[in-house]
Amino acid sequence: MHHTFSPGALNYKEDFGEDFNIDTILGSSDTKAWEYFIYAEDDWKISPDFSANVGFHLSAFSVNGKTYFSPQARLGMRYLLPKDFALKASYSMMTQYIHLLTNEGVGLPTDLWVPSTERIRPQTSMQWALGLAKTFGTEYEVSVEGYYKKMDNLLSYKEGASFLNFEDWQEKVEQGKGDSYGVEFFVQKKQGNTTGWIGYTLAWNNRQFENINSGEEYPFRYDRRHDLSVVVSHQINKKISVSGSWIFGSGNAITLNEFRYISYNPNSNNPTINESIEIEVPGSKNNYRMNNYHRLDFGVDFTKKKKRYQRTFSLGAYNVYSRKNPFYIYFNNSENRFKQVSLFPVIPYFNYSFKF
């Protein structure tokens, strides 16, 4: 696989006086790279109650004269217990050559995907998981699973750095480590006129860098403590079915200043309030949570089978109760307070399809 990367971001415009606007772009030349991989796996039935999936993945990434090699082992096991219980365990090693570089402060959120280079090492991880599942006949399934993931060579902006200049992005980042862990609960109804599932995850996602947040561990921007999904579908008759889903997630973590104060300009011979300097004192990394995210989606399908085809007409809406979910937060100087920007109120939809 051949890659050509052109990392960049266009900042939203700020007005200065008479229609004078400044756009800034992340400075970076194109980067070309080759990626190679080969893998093998086998399903191994050790006994009637014990089975395993064993795999091996070997990959390489060549960029700017530097080549990274990554052997990765994969193992998944399942053991059937009495009374329709099943015990599951897995282990996997993974390498990712593409990094997510995210802005964790206030303002328009900007996530950039940047490649590993001769200076930026690929990110690696090891993950362990252990779960227990039970089936109730053929209609219901319940499971619980815990996991732990250790990550190295993660990427983040240095403190005070962003994409708002033409400096090469590699000069503005540093690499560190992180971990994520949690418990997932899942309940599913598979058969009948009414089907659906409920999934809930309690999770932690942390980062740690030598020169960020005084070297202390902090929550990642996409650390989502609670994640809940409820999905239900009901077949009223052969022609009409309704479905709905409700999604809830804890708010993203962002960094806000602890306080702001005014100081006179020390370089001024006659300091006045008009020549003062506004100083912002940042708090700890990702010390604030945006509002929680939740929405309800609902839809109705009208299906009719013809002799040679089947047609379906669908009506529904996303975000039925028009929740103002947070997109980003910014500081409004005229009102001297932080304000939230939201996108996508209730959005109705319709769809027509047929298959033959």
Mean pLDDT of 232-247: 95
User: pTM higher than 0.85 for the full model?
Assistant: no
The whole-angstrom separation of Cα 221 and Cα 107 is 14
Given a cut of 50, whether residue 111 has pLDDT beyond it is yes
Given a cut of 90, whether residue 29 has pLDDT beyond it is no
The whole-angstrom separation of Cα 133 and Cα 142 is 6
Retrieve residue 241's tokens. 């079915």
Given a cut of 80, whether residue 12 has pLDDT beyond it is no
Percent of the chain exceeding pLDDT 90 equals 61
The overall average pLDDT reported for the chain is: 86
pLDDT at 273: 47
Which of 51-65, 167-181, 230-244 is predicted least confidently?
167-181
Given a cut of 70, whether residue 215 has pLDDT beyond it is yes
pLDDT at 25: 46
* DSSP labels, 203-233: EEEEEE-TTSGGG--EE-TT--SEEEEEEEE
Residue 170 pLDDT class (50, 70, 90 cuts): confident
Helices (H), the chain: none
Q: Which amino acid is at 351?
A: N
**137 CB neighbour count, 10 Å cutoff:** 9
Given a cut of 50, whether residue 20 has pLDDT beyond it is no
- N residues, the chain: 356
pLDDT at 270: 55
Which of 115-124, 245-254, 328-337 is predicted least confidently?
328-337
